[in-house]
Amino acid sequence: MAQANITEFKILGVLQHSHVDGVRITTRHFRDGRELPLLITDPNNDFNFQDLRTLPEEIAVHPVYT
């Protein structure tokens, strides 16, 4: 992000992926070592249904410069 001079991007949806053995998936978001609210969780993952799931609101992702 720093090389492209991007200050943020927005997550509009999540495409969770698991192979056949996956039974639940949680997508988490961290910023500055702190966990932010969950993006999405699927406690009943179905390998045969893997689709883009839109989020109820956009989530901003900001770079962490060290």
The label of the residue with tokens 């989530």 reads 59
pLDDT tens string 4-44 = 888 899 999 999 988 888 889 999 988 888 998 889 999 98
* Residue among 61, 55, 60, 63 nearest 12 (CA): 55
pLDDT of res. 65: 62
Is residue 42 in a domain?
yes
Is residue 4 in a domain?
no
pTM: 0.69
Is residue 3 in a domain?
no
Asked if residues 61 and 9 have their Cβ atoms less than 8 Å apart, the reply is yes
Residue 31 corresponds to which tokens in the numbers above?
Answer: 């910023």
pLDDT at residue 66 greater than cutoff 80: no
Per the structure, the count of domains in the chain is 1
